[in-house]
């Protein structure tokens, strides 16, 4: 039989399922590496070992997947090094080093050693191609690698976080509920269901409900409740209440409740229940619970009528609860149907796919076809014979459904080897869709012989491992309340001895009692008292005279971590620690915007920079905590004109600096002004780090914004939290950590999973309660055996959900305790009232009655100490200052590099008014905003003249199609046009793609002051279709006639730059007759040239370059054809340097064709022309027949060759030259 603790004998060969259960700190990641090594080296019954490309390794987050890949690479490198350096010739390693012992025994055969060295080398070479990722990334790979079998489009949709779309739907739903205007049948069904509600839900409720309804596999059951059987129940109850002699008293509560219930049931068959007669279910159940005590006379306890009435009461209450919930269930079902259809339509029009839709798309594609075939599942099983699934306890039914379909044949038998790795005790992400029932069902399919249990705790000290064992010996091993049906229990861990050389010790030199329970006195237990007591305890732990040590060093702030249930409590904890002078940091996804008052101060200061002529605004900026003048100094400025003028002049200088160099330069100057004052404070480093971070984010915003006001608006929106950020944006906005490695960490319980800390403090686990139903947000959902998650609306379902949430809180307690390496302090409240059957109770509160000193002594729990009283006052400061770092003086700037630093360049960065050092490849119409202001005067009038006319025309020929788009302009409108023309279906007219046009306008928030979005979309469709139908420059080229195979939209290019110069490029162009083609700047170029060509199309064997321009070349109030005539376009191309852009695109396509065609490439035969279509006028013509809106050009070969040579220049370094 397989040893349940030995990874070396775990079955990995043949078809089946394998389970690895790894308790906290037991080396799960190490074991994954060991199993991976076995798969790469061991022969699979004559089929040979596997390669990395054949082994799926999936985990929960991108960061975890990257870390797993890094660990696997390290394991392979280490093993290869052992194989190459005679490890097999040395003495056998100690028995505890099982991986090395396994290798040593294996390599005693010379042929095996040689084969393994070769396999390890090959495995390292292809590890980057291995499917080591999250399940989401794995599904994206499936759609990309198996489009035929998955029924996916060859062009992969854009992956997006659909949460923002859901929020848009919530706003649309709210507006729909306030009106009676239904656009389709689904919306009409929503309004009908709304009419059945007692009240229309609030806007916040609508949003929370919709977020829950749009999750995968969520269903709303709105079936009618059968009422025929209620008549029999009514008769049973009526018969009992007509016998008053049964009851102990005439005033019996049970008699009153049964009588009211019978009267209510009598009204049900009519279809209009008399809800005002319905007694409260809670009171009925309370009376029923006292049935045999004081409600019914003893001689009637076994009366058939009484027993029948008691047996039917609970079921009938549940049925009534379902009846009460039915109108809301119907409403939610209608909302879900409408929202899912609408989301699919919007994503489809935009050719996008949400991350959840990615999973469901693959899940659906794995289903058998009508004839029972399973092409995708078969292909994936063939490609990936083995899969290792980490953190399996957090898997949801959709994810497991994908895995189960791949690794199960058409008859339902396992195939391949699916290895499930996790710890059910750490399943704490139910709110994200994690489903412990999925884990338990999968576990049931794994034979005992195919299971591995990891129970040696290699994280914690031996003393603390035993302390946790003793805690669960006393509190109970079941991770659930007494009434819970959970099968998950605590398993005693074995110590590893790993921390023996660095033991934790307290003031008396002993640290064996390392789980400390701080017990509140009567009337002392409240949240603020617990947090104050915790803060005071930390000051004592960090007192250098207190004698708290780890090994031979004193306890440091960085050894400690405080875990609390939510962010609000974490911030309160930070405040208390800072009052006591303790360095601390909130670890997690705290936003630099919404969780930080500094951002508000910066907004006030920047507002003053923009409005520097307003004295009141300047005083507000000077009075912020960031600037910190204070009331007295502000009053003094009022009486000192010279000093006031000096302050005002600074803001005027900053306004000029902003216009010339950008907002980051202003923030940098601000940091120089306030740095000295803030470095003298405890939070000085935090302030300066956050200021720099905010400045960088504002600069990134400004590169896409239209002026200073837009930047300020963006900052205000982020502070108010009015826009939801994607995960990537949340990472970008998260507070940065610099000196925080020397601080006490404060974080939420859920955020601590997977981490470890020397000492953990849990001040609020005694209060980790469930939310009362009236305060709960969002929908409750229960998982069924079929994998569906049903919305819980009736009383019985809600009670079950309360219990499952409580079970998860028991698991959270386990996670919190096992974060500690050496010691843990937990606060308990023995005198707080908690019922053992209260599903909202905190798990630690339920366990507290069994954790008194007598119970601990009876169990021999000598590693647990109980400290009486919460030490809450006075505010304690460390007896000695806690210094976390030295050398706060400003550092010298690094030496200027001899060569320019490499960066990413594009047309936009090369011609922008201010130098940009990073290109944004996604801003398709960014050049329509920036290029127009090149070399203009740096004043306010130059900020927004991208749409100014190039020059006045002698005649003005109006045209209604030009007037149709007056009132819309700017980069957002240009981006919307680019999006439409990129995503359009070439074989359909734009009139049939109305949703795409509307979605694109909405996506970029394009609006018209007089037209609705629908009306604007209609006009834009007519104009763009005319562009596609136009005979371009009478050359016989019509874009609408070209097949999809001849079109490549948004073709991206990249090529290296190393030593090119804008100055030399300008000289080259001047030699070929174009002296103004390149901006007058002597910039050196190093790094990467990047760009996206709007369209490359093939016509008559030649490949042409096309760029769409949405610029309004008129004055904004009127337009004439002469503004788009050939002469005007020539001037526009030169004034905006668009001709330079065309040259860069030509160079890119010339390189591409030469690389693809090789010696067959003939520039004259293969390279087409450059076409710039100003879409407002393309297809129109002057009265004399001259085409408008089309610029066409072909650069001569000599110029192209010279420019290619310059852009290919390689700068010779000093060492190379020598």
For β-strands 549-550 and 504-505, DSSP reports them as antiparallel
Element (DSSP H or E) covering residue 322: helix 304-349
Q: Check: CB of residue 710 under 8 Å from CB of residue 549.
A: no
Per-residue pLDDT of 975-1025, as tens digits, reads 899 999 999 999 899 999 988 999 899 888 888 878 888 889 999 999 999
Residue 768 assigned as binding residue: no
Residue 939 assigned as binding residue: no
- Can you tell me the mean pLDDT for 269-290? 67
Kindly indicate the confidence band of residue 2, based on its pLDDT and cuts at 50, 70 and 90: low
CATH 3.40.50.300 assigned to 462-496+510-587+742-772+796-868? yes
pLDDT of 900 reads 60
Q: Using CA atoms, how far apart are residues 998 and 871, in angstroms rounded to an integer?
A: 63
Report the candidate in 637, 1170, 1157, 521 with the shortest Cα–Cα distance to residue 869.
521
Of the chain, the percentage scoring pLDDT greater than 70 comes to 85
pLDDT for residue 1098 is more than 80: yes
Residue 1114 assigned as binding residue: no
Mean of per-residue pLDDT scores for the chain: 84
Kindly indicate the confidence band of residue 275, based on its pLDDT and cuts at 50, 70 and 90: low
Q: What is the DSSP letter of 1114?
A: S
Residue 198 assigned as binding residue: no
Per-residue pLDDT of 545-567, as tens digits, reads 878 999 889 999 999 999 999 98
Residue 282 assigned as binding residue: no
pLDDT for residue 727 is more than 70: no
- Can you tell me the mean pLDDT for 934-958? 46
Per-residue pLDDT of 811-861, as tens digits, reads 999 999 999 999 999 999 987 666 555 888 999 999 999 898 888 989 999
Residue 903 assigned as binding residue: no
pLDDT of 704 reads 65
CB atoms within 10 A of CB 1159: 6
Tell me, rounded to whole angstroms, the distance of Cα 104 from its chain centroid: 44
For β-strands 549-550 and 553-554, DSSP reports them as antiparallel
Does pTM top 0.75 for this prediction? no
Report the candidate in 14, 16, 58, 66 with the shortest Cα–Cα distance to residue 36.
58
pLDDT of 929 reads 47
pLDDT for residue 739 is more than 70: no
Helix (H), strand (E) counts: the chain? 43, 29
The DSSP bridge partners found for residue 1056 are: 1088
pLDDT of 1211 reads 54
Q: Using CA atoms, how far apart are residues 852 and 842, in angstroms rounded to an integer?
A: 17
Residue 401 assigned as binding residue: no
Domain spanning 597-736, CATH architecture:
Orthogonal Bundle (1.10)
Which are the contacts of 154, defined by CB distance < 8 A and separation ≥ 6? 147
Per-residue pLDDT of 1109-1127, as tens digits, reads 998 888 766 789 999 999 9
> CATH homologous superfamily of domain 7-78+130-155+357-454?
P-loop containing nucleotide triphosphate hydrolases (3.40.50.300)
Kindly indicate the confidence band of residue 1032, based on its pLDDT and cuts at 50, 70 and 90: confident
pLDDT for residue 461 is more than 50: yes
The DSSP bridge partners found for residue 353 are: 159
- Can you tell me the mean pLDDT for 588-593? 64
Structure tokens at 779: 């929908």
Long-range contacts of the stretch 440-448 (C-beta < 8 A, 24+): 440/487, 441/785, 442/17, 442/19, 442/392, 442/400, 442/404, 443/19, 445/17, 445/414, 446/17, 446/18, 446/19, 446/420, 447/16, 448/4
pLDDT for residue 541 is more than 60: yes
pLDDT for residue 940 is more than 50: no
pLDDT of 270 reads 60
pLDDT of 892 reads 52
Which are the contacts of 1181, defined by CB distance < 8 A and separation ≥ 6? 1121, 1187, 1188
Structure tokens at 418: 């699916």
Q: Using CA atoms, how far apart are residues 108 and 140, in angstroms rounded to an integer?
A: 43
CA torsion sign for 561, 566, 567, 569 is negative
Which are the contacts of 133, defined by CB distance < 8 A and separation ≥ 6? 57, 58, 62, 65, 141
Kindly indicate the confidence band of residue 20, based on its pLDDT and cuts at 50, 70 and 90: very high
- Can you tell me the mean pLDDT for 295-314? 85
Q: Please list the active-site residues.
A: 1107
Q: Check: CB of residue 816 under 8 Å from CB of residue 760.
A: yes
Which are the contacts of 359, defined by CB distance < 8 A and separation ≥ 6? 135, 136, 139, 216, 398, 399, 402
Per-residue pLDDT of 628-672, as tens digits, reads 787 788 888 888 888 888 889 999 999 988 888 888 888 888 888
Could you tell me if residue 111 is left (phi over 0), alpha (psi between -120 and 50 degrees) or otherwise beta? alpha
pLDDT for residue 77 is more than 70: yes
Residue 27 assigned as binding residue: yes
pLDDT of 545 reads 80
pLDDT of 926 reads 53
Q: Using CA atoms, how far apart are residues 967 and 1008, in angstroms rounded to an integer?
A: 6
- Can you tell me the mean pLDDT for 1049-1076? 88
pLDDT of 1041 reads 92
pLDDT for residue 593 is more than 80: no
- Can you tell me the mean pLDDT for 457-477? 95
pLDDT of 147 reads 79
Same fold: 462-496+510-587+742-772+796-868 with 903-966+1042-1207: no
Of the chain, the percentage scoring pLDDT greater than 90 comes to 43
Would you kindly state where each structural domain of the chain is located, as residue ranges?
A: 7-78+130-155+357-454, 158-223+328-352, 228-324, 462-496+510-587+742-772+796-868, 597-736, 903-966+1042-1207
Structure tokens at 1083: 């910039």
Helix axis angle for 135-145 and 397-406, nearest 10°, is 50
Residue 978 assigned as binding residue: yes
Residue 100 CB burial class (10 angstroms; 0-12, 13-18, ≥19): middle
Per-residue pLDDT of 1193-1208, as tens digits, reads 999 999 999 999 998 8
pLDDT of 1195 reads 95
pLDDT for residue 255 is more than 90: no
Kindly indicate the confidence band of residue 944, based on its pLDDT and cuts at 50, 70 and 90: very low
Kindly indicate the confidence band of residue 380, based on its pLDDT and cuts at 50, 70 and 90: very high
Q: Check: CB of residue 159 under 8 Å from CB of residue 353.
A: yes
CATH number of 903-966+1042-1207: 3.90.320.10
Kindly indicate the confidence band of residue 181, based on its pLDDT and cuts at 50, 70 and 90: confident
CA torsion sign for 111, 113, 118, 120 is positive
């Amino acid at each position: 039989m397989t040893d349940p603790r030995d990874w070396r004998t775990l079955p990995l060969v043949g078809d089946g399922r394998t389970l690895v259960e790894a308790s906290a700190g037991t080396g799960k990641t190490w074991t994954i590496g060991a199993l991976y090594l076995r798969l790469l080296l061991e022969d699979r019954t004559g089929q040979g070992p596997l390669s990395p490309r054949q082994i799926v390794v999936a985990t929960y987050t991108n960061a975890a997947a990257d870390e797993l890949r890094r660990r696997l690479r390290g394991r392979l490198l280490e093993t290869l090094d052992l194989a190459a350096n005679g490890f097999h010739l040395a003495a056998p390693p100690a028995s505890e080093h099982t991986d090395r012992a396994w290798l040593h025994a294996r390599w005693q055969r010379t042929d095996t050693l040689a084969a393994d060295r070769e396999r390890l080398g090959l495995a390292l070479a292809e590890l980057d191609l291995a499917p080591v990722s999250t399940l989401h990334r794995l599904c994206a790979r499936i759609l990309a690698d198996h489009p035929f079998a998955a029924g996916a489009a060859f062009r992969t949709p854009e992956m997006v976080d659909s949460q923002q779309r859901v929020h848009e739907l919530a706003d649309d739903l709210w507006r729909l509920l306030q009106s009676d205007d239904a656009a389709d049948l689904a919306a009409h069904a929503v309004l009908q269901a709304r009419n059945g509600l007692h009240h229309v839900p609030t806007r916040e409720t609508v949003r929370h409900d919709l977020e829950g309804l749009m999750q995968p596999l969520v269903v709303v059951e709105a079936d009618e409740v059968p009422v025929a059987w209620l008549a029999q129940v009514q008769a049973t109850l009526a018969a009992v209440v007509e016998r008053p002699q049964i009851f102990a008293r005439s005033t019996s509560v049970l008699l009153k409740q049964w009588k009211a219930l019978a009267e209510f049931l009598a009204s049900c068959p009519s279809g209009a229940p008399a809800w005002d007669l319905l007694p409260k279910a809670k009171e009925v159940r309370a009376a029923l619970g006292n049935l045999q005590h004081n409600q019914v006379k003893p001689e009637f306890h076994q009366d058939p009528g009484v027993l029948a009435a008691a047996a039917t009461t609970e079921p009938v209450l549940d049925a009534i609860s379902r009846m009460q919930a039915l109108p809301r269930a119907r409403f939610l079902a209608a909302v879900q149907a409408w929202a899912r259809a609408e989301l699919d339509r919007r994503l489809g029009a935009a050719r996008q796919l949400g991350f959840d839709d990615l999973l469901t798309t693959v899940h659906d594609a794995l289903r058998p076809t009508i004839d029972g075939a399973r092409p995708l599942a078969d292909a994936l099983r063939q490609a990936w014979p083995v899969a290792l699934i980490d953190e399996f306890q957090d898997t949801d039914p959709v994810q497991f459904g994908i895995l189960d379909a791949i690794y199960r044949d058409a008859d339902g038998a396992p195939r391949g080897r699916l290895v499930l790795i996790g710890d059910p005790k750490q399943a704490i992400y139910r709110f994200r869709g994690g489903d412990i029932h999925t884990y338990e069902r999968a576990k049931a399919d794994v034979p005992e012989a195919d299971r591995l249990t990891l129970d040696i705790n290699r994280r914690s000290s031996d003393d603390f491992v035993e302390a946790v064992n003793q805690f669960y010996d006393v509190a109970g091993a079941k991770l659930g309340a007494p009434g819970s049906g959970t099968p998950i229990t605590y398993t005693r861990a074995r110590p590893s001895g790993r921390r023996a050389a660095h033991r934790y010790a307290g003031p008396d030199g002993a640290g064996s009692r390392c789980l400390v329970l701080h017990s509140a006195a009567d009337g002392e237990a409240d949240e603020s008292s617990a947090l104050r007591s915790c803060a005071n305890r930390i000051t004592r732990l960090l007192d250098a005279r207190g004698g708290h040590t780890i090994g031979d060093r004193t306890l440091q702030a960085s050894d400690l971590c405080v875990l609390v249930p939510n962010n609000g409590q974490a911030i309160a904890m930070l405040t208390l620690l800072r009052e006591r002078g303790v360095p601390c940091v909130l670890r997690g996804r705290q936003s630099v915007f919404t969780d930080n008052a500094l951002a508000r101060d910066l907004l006030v200061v920047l507002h003053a920079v923009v409005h520097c002529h307003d004295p009141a605004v300047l005083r507000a900026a000077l009075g912020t905590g960031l600037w910190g003048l204070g009331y007295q100094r502000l009053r003094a400025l009022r009486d000192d004109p010279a000093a006031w003028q000096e302050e005002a002049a600074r803001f005027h200088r900053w306004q000029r600096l902003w216009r010339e160099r950008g907002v980051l330069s202003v923030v940098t100057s601000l940091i120089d002004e306030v740095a000295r004052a803030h470095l003298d404070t405890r939070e000085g480093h935090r302030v300066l780090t956050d200021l720099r971070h905010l400045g960088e984010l504002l600069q990134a915003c400004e590169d896409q914004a239209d002026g200073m006001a837009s930047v300020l608006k963006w900052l205000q929106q982020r502070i108010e939290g009015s826009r939801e950020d994607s995960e990537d944006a949340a990472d970008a906005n998260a507070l940065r950590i610099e000196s925080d490695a020397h601080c006490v960490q404060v974080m939420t319980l859920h955020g601590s999973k997977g981490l470890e800390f020397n000492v953990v403090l849990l001040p609020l686990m005694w209060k980790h309660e469930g939310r009362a139903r009236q305060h709960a947000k969002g929908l409750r959902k229960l998982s069924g055996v079929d994998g569906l998650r049903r919305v819980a609306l009736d009383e019985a379902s809600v009670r079950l959900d309360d219990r499952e949430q409580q079970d998860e809180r028991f698991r959270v307690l386990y996670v919190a305790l096992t974060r500690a390496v050496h010691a843990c302090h937990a606060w308990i409240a023995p005198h707080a009232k908690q019922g053992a059957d209260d599903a909202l109770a905190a798990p630690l509160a339920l366990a507290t009655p069994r954790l008194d000193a007598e119970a601990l002594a009876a169990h021999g729990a000598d590693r647990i100490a109980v400290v009486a009283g919460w030490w809450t006052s006075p505010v304690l400061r460390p007896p000695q200052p806690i210094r976390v770092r030295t050398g706060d003086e400003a550092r010298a700037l690094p030496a200027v590099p001899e060569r320019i630093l490499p960066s990413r360049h594009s047309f936009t960065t090369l011609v922008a008014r201010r130098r940009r050092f990073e290109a944004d490849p996604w801003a398709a119409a960014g050049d329509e905003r920036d290029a127009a202001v090149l070399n203009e005067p740096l004043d306010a009038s130059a900020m927004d003249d991208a749409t100014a006319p190039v020059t006045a025309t002698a005649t003005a020929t109006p045209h209604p199609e030009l007037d149709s788009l007056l009132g819309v302009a700017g980069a957002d409108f240009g981006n919307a046009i680019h999006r439409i023309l990129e995503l359009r279906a070439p074989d359909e007219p734009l009139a049939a793609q109305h949703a795409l046009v509307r979605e694109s306008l909405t996506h970029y928030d394009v609006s018209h002051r007089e037209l609705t979005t629908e009306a604007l979309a209609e006009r834009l469709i007519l104009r763009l279709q005319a562009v596609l139908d136009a005979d371009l420059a009478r050359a016989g080229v019509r874009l609408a006639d070209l097949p999809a195979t001849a079109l490549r939209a948004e073709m991206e290019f990249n090529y290296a730059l190393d030593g090119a110069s804008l100055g030399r490029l300008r000289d080259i162009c001047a030699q070929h007759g174009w002296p103004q083609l390149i901006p007058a700047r002597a910039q050196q170029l190093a790094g990467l040239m990047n760009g996206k060509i709007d369209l490359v199309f093939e016509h008559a064997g030649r490949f042409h370059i096309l760029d769409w321009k949405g610029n309004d070349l008129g004055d904004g109030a009127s337009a004439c054809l002469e503004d788009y005539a050939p002469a005007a376009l020539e001037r526009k191309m030169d004034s905006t340097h668009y001709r330079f852009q065309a040259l860069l695109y030509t160079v890119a396509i010339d390189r591409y064709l030469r690389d693809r065609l090789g010696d067959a490439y003939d520039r004259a035969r293969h390279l087409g022309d450059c076409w710039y279509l100003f879409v407002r006028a393309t297809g129109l013509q002057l009265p004399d027949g001259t085409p408008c809106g089309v610029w066409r050009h072909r650069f001569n070969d000599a110029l192209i060759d010279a420019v290619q040579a310059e852009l290919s220049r390689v700068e010779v370094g000093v060492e190379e030259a020598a």
